[in-house]
Amino acid sequence: MRVLILGGDGYLGWPTAMYLSCRGHVVGVLDNFAKRRWEMELNVEPLIPIHTLHDRVKAWREVKGEQIELFVGDLRNYGVVEGVLEKFQPDAIVHYGEQPSAPYSMIDHNRAVFTQVNNVTGTLNVLWAMRKISPECQLVKLGTMGEYGTPNIDIEEGFIEIEHKGRRDVLPFPCQPGSFYHLSKVHDSHNMRLACKIWNLATTDLHQGVVYGIETDETRLDERLETSFHYDEVFGTALNRFCVQAVAGIPLSVYGSGGQRRGFLNIRDTLRCIELAVVNPAKPGEYRVFNQFTETFSITQLAELVVRQAAKLGISATVELLENPRVELEEHYYNPAHTKLLDLGLEPHLLSDELINSVLERIKTYQSRIKRDIVLPHIKWDARAQEMDELKLMWAGA
């Protein structure tokens, strides 16, 4: 199949491109390198040095003999989107091309508005261009488990049957997202549902959990093929950040009580989930949601797993409970369904001591590159003055 990956320069986009390229698909990637600029704004960088996308595509050709077609462009520009669909003629579009960070969206008013306008416009442009150029193409869009929030009932996969006053219907699962970023994904989900209904498009909305892991079979082939592993407060996620903190001798920073439960998955499973969605497409007119994670942990559980595994490597890691910069429940019910991808054949790589061990070992290799001052949270959800203001972090434009 011909698969176009939007956001192909990212933590997941690039490994997905290689993964699908290895498995007989014709792969194109599009990116506008916006995230590289956000990293510059915030003075953060991936732990492992990342080559340019142009150089990675070239390296992939040298290493594997496979061609990944590279497009440079911004999804907010409708002409770009139409153009790439016309040129590449995809059978499937995998859409990672959004501002991906909740803390980034909470820094200030400019970044909140930017995150929503950027993400909503990009996805609307993709939907309208599909309608015109490639209505048979399917869209596989990355959403987030954070769209649901933490309701006091079991979370289903996108829809829930509700019985109310003697009547029944199957309705979209109610969403209570916790940041302007997570809200942007909810907006996308609503927009996709309408586009499927009125234009007969086929879309899969992957409500993904928190991804961890530093490498895939493909990134290991050559140092030029590495993916961007973040550990900072803005782009880093819980387990990845904890591993860096352990290696750097910084207490593992748990926000609040640490009782927050979330769904997690290995980066390798992300790639397989994408493939499963692509090769088992939605039907025309179908908007479907897969909850994409393999197991749930509380943040405290994760921290304890890292502490225990670090000890085996002779690292004495500690945990520090920080005042929670977010506004969220710290103790809550959490039991989301996640059977649809398993039914399609996903065989999870569950979180193991070996995985944590290998991440810790890999981080040690790059220990000297760790920037200690970018790890702890400064971005507050509530209306307290943002400490980030002190950094004179003005809006740099879109």
SS3 66: coil
Give me the least distance between CB of 85 and its own copies, in Å please.
13
Site for its own copies in 8-67 (CB under 8 A): none
Give me the least distance between CB of 240 and its own copies, in Å please.
25
Q: By C-beta, is 213 or 325 nearer to its own copies?
A: 325
Site for its own copies in 194-213 (CB under 8 A): 194, 197-200
CB atoms near residue 303 (< 10 Å): 26
Q: Which of 16, 123, 144, 294 is catalytic?
A: 144
Can you name the residues that pair with 93 across neighbouring β-strands?
4, 139
Give me the least distance between CB of 165 and its own copies, in Å please.
5
Q: Token pair for residue 259?
A: 């009782």
Q: By C-beta, is 113 or 221 nearer to its own copies?
A: 113
181 is catalytic: yes
According to DSSP, residue 146 is labeled G
Q: By C-beta, is 111 or 268 nearer to its own copies?
A: 111
* CA gap 31, 12 in Å, rounded: 13
- Beginning with the edge strand found earlier in the chain, give each strand of the sheet holding 287-292 in spatial order: 68-72, 26-31, 2-6, 92-95, 138-144, 202-208, 287-292
**Nearest of 284, 304, 296 to residue 356 by alpha carbon:** 304
Q: Which of 11, 19, 96, 181 is catalytic?
A: 181
What is the residue whose two structure tokens read 């416009």? 121
- Beginning with the edge strand found earlier in the chain, give each strand of the sheet holding 210-212 in spatial order: 210-212, 261-266, 295-298
**Nearest of 253, 216, 223 to residue 237 by alpha carbon:** 253
Taking residues 160 to 179 in sequence order and writing x for each that binds its own copies by CB under 8 A, - otherwise, the string is x-xxxx-xxx-xxxxxxxxx
Q: By C-beta, is 174 or 249 nearer to its own copies?
A: 174
* Candidate list 73, 83, 151, 259; residue touching its own copies; CB under 8 A: 151
Question: What type of residue sits at position 95?
Answer: H
Give me the least distance between CB of 143 and its own copies, in Å please.
14
Q: Taking a C-beta distance cutoff of 8 angstroms, is the pair 159, 229 a contact?
A: no
CB-count burial class (<10 Å; 0-12, 13-18, 19+) for 179:
buried
185 is catalytic: yes
**Binding region for its own copies (CB under 8 A) out of 54-62, 65-73, 155-163, 359-367:** 155-163
| Residue 190 interacting with its own copies (CB under 8 A) | yes
Q: By C-beta, is 39 or 188 nearer to its own copies?
A: 188
Q: Taking a C-beta distance cutoff of 8 angstroms, is the pair 162, 171 a contact?
A: yes
Interacting residue ranges for its own copies, rule: CB under 8 A: 78, 109-110, 112-113, 116-117, 120-121, 124-125, 128-129, 131, 135, 151-154, 160, 162-165, 167-169, 171-180, 183, 186-187, 190-191, 193-194, 197-200, 327, 333, 381-383
Instruction: Give catalytic residues, as residue numbers.
Output: 144, 181, 185
